Structure 1
Amino acid sequence: MRALTIDHSAPGHLSLRETPDPAPTPHQALVRIHSFSVNHGEAAFVVPNGEEGTIPGWDAAGVVVRAATDGTGPAAGTPVVTLGPAGAWAELRAVETELMGTAPEGADLGAAGALPVAAGSALRALRRLGPILGRRVLVTGASGGVGRFAVQLAARGGAHVVAATSDTAKGEALTRLGAHEVVAGDALTVIEPVHGVIDVVGGPQLVDAYRALAPHGTLVAVGHSSGVGEEFPFGALFGDGGRHDRSLTTFFLLDDADGLGADLEWLASLVGRGELDPQITFRDDWTRTPDALAALLAREITGKAVLDIPR
């Protein structure tokens, strides 16, 4: 098969090469990949620091060509959306059956391939906030891949969604996705208190978002796109003055895999029915993957970048 492999001597640290087909374990299905999406974390960390010759990639969608031999998972011929720690940027992928969900027949597999990390993280992070119906939920980095899914899913869950973005010119687009308020990322110290926060930025913005939490509120740290650390001033973690019992929790999707296949299937069904917009703003042939990664790092892509593998 052909695959994009880590090659630190090549532009963009990637080369398209012939590689051996994957050998699935009994609990894995073999999937022919039609499309995959790329994420900021892959651009910033995985590709520049990856082991030479390995095949990166978390998100992909395709069709099962060989079902898992242990009898779990979908049958051959089933369209699926898949997640894994590596191996997505290839013509074939061996996937744990618990990390794949069935996509609707006839669905755009590029749209399905945009879901796993971004939409899966948004969905499962929102669940950590508890009931959100009628409550204020802040999403930082709202114009990015995870943020746009979090805005839509929080609105679908009945929350009053506050979308924070570094570019308020994107406010109209975020409002169409379900945001009730759009604020600048550097203005979080003056917003009304919120019940929960989905933070994908980190750094000083996380500190300000934590300050905005109401009593008993929760902040879920999902991403760290700012690339800088957090420094809480003295008193920020005090519980007096109406700041009692606020929590901050970390999150990593691949360590929260129980039932993830069913979630991916549900998310794919929403996209198939037009009820969830994957916000694909870059789509091209997979030979353009280095360009997509560079554009992500330069913040030239908002939403999701999808690459298609020609058949």
Structure 2
Amino acid sequence: MRAVFNAPEDPMRVAIRDGAPEPDPAPDEAIIEVHAFSLNRGELALLATRPAAWRPGQDVAGTVIRAAANGTGPAVGSRVVGLVEQAGWAERVAVAADRLAEIPSGVETIAAATLGIAGRTALNTVRLGGALLGRRVLVIGAAGGLGRFQVQLAAQGGAEVVAVSRRAGAVADLGELGADAVVSRTEDAPGLFDLVLDGVGGRATEAAVQKVAPSGTVVLIGASEREPARVALTDFFGHENAALRTYFSYAEQAPVNGDLSFLLGLLREGRLRADIGFTGPWETLPQALDALAEGRVDGKAVLTLQ
């Protein structure tokens, strides 16, 4: 079958090649014929650090062509979205049944493909704020796929949401998604916030600490800003007992299939919008990676297999 391979020696950085081995599923894994996959910023770092011939890809959507042998999970013919650790950018992939969810009618496959990393991370980082009704949430890096989901989910939880984005063209979109205000710098966000979701890192984290309310929470999610943050105990004067914590999607304990099913239900009901800022056939993967690295994708990048 054809699959994407890491190719650090190639100017395009990745290559779609024939001859990849067919997936050999465990008893609890189904084989999915992949119709679409989405890209995540974390995969840029993985491609830069993994060896040649490593196979990337985490978010996939497609059709079950072989159900799990142990009888669990979706049946053959089901449209599904799934989450794997690697090797998802291929014509076929084995996915554990408890990491799959059926796509309901009315939800497009390319929209479902956005949910694995970005949607699930947004869901579980917003949950870290607890009950949000009447509380204030700051989303840093709000124009990307993750940030757009965070804005929507926090707003649905009843929070007042302020979005931070340097992309002038995203202001109207973020307002439509539920942001009460959009600012270009974290420092310009008015007041203090019970929950600060930092999808950028570096200097943004320093600014985030200055915007968290006493006993509030700052969640570190992204690291696109390469200059490390410098934070000291004295920076928390006026923000006493605030928590500074990390979130790594691979360590999340919530059931993957449950999270994906919940998010798919929101898509079906029109309560969640999957904004896709780059789409095309998977042969355009190098261009999609460049656009993502350069911050030119408003929302998610999703590629399709013909």
The answer as to whether partners of 1:81 and 1:265 remain within 8 angstroms in 2 is no
Q: Which residue of 2 aligns with 1:196?
A: 195
Secondary structure of the residue aligned to 1:235 is helix
| Partner Cα separation in structure 2 for residue 233 and residue 106 of structure 1 | 50
Work out the percentage of aligned pairs sharing the same amino acid: 38
How far apart, in 2, do the equivalents of 1:69 and 1:108 lie?
Answer: 28
1:287 Cα deviation from its structure 2 partner: 0.4
What does 1:79-118 correspond to in 2, within 5 Å? 79-105=79-105, 107-118=107-118
Q: Offset at 1:48?
A: 2.4
Query: Of 241, 245, 248, which residue of structure 1 is paired with 2:244?
Result: 248
Structure 2 unaligned residues grouped into runs of 5+: none
**Pairwise CA distance, 1:200:** 0.2
Q: Which is further off, 172-181 or 93-102?
A: 93-102
Aligned residues: 305
Task: Give the residue type in structure 2 aligned to 1:38.
Answer: L
Shift of 1:283: 0.6
Query: Any idea what the Cα deviations from partners look like across 1:276-299, whole Å, max 9, x if unmatched?
Result: 111101110000011100111111
- Give yes or no for the alignment of 1:307 onto 2:303: yes
Match in the other structure for 1:40: 41
Residue number in structure 2 paired with 1:121: 121
Distance 1:113 1:257, change over 3 A: farther
The aligned counterpart of 1:270 is: 266
TM-score (norm 1): 0.94
Q: Distance in 1 between matches of 2:253 and 2:35?
A: 23
Q: Over residues 70-103 of structure 1, what are the superposed CA-to-partner deviations in whole Å (9 max), with x where a residue is unaligned?
A: 2221111111111111011001011122222111
Aligned residue in 1 for 2:64: 64
Distance in 2 (CA, whole Å) between partners of 1:219 and 1:161 is 15
Render the CA deviation track for 1:250-281: whole Å, top value 9, x for unaligned.
01112114312111112122223332111101
Task: Tell me the CA shift for residue 169 of structure 1.
Answer: 4.5
1:161 is aligned to: 161
Which residue does the alignment assign to 1:288? 284
- Residue 170 of structure 2 aligns to a residue whose secondary structure is helix
**Contact preservation (8 Å) 1:168, 1:182:** no
Higher RCO, Cα 8 Å, sep 6+: 1
Which amino acid letter does the alignment assign opposite residue 250 of structure 1? T
Once residues 21 and 257 of structure 1 are traced to their aligned partners in structure 2, the CA distance between those partners, rounded to angstroms, is: 29
| CA RMSD of superposed structures (Å) | 1.5
Is the Cα contact below 8 Å between 1:79 and 1:105 reproduced in 2?
no
Secondary structure at 1:283 match in 2: strand
Instruction: Indicate conservation of the 8 Å contact 2:59/2:84, yes or no.
Output: yes
Question: Is the 8 Å Cα contact of residues 60 and 83 (structure 1) preserved in structure 2?
Answer: yes
- Given that residues 215 and 240 in structure 2 are in contact (C-alpha distance below 8 angstroms), is that contact kept between their aligned partners in structure 1? yes
Residue ranges of structure 1 left out of the alignment (5+ in a row) = none
Task: Indicate the larger mover: 162-171 or 124-133.
Answer: 162-171
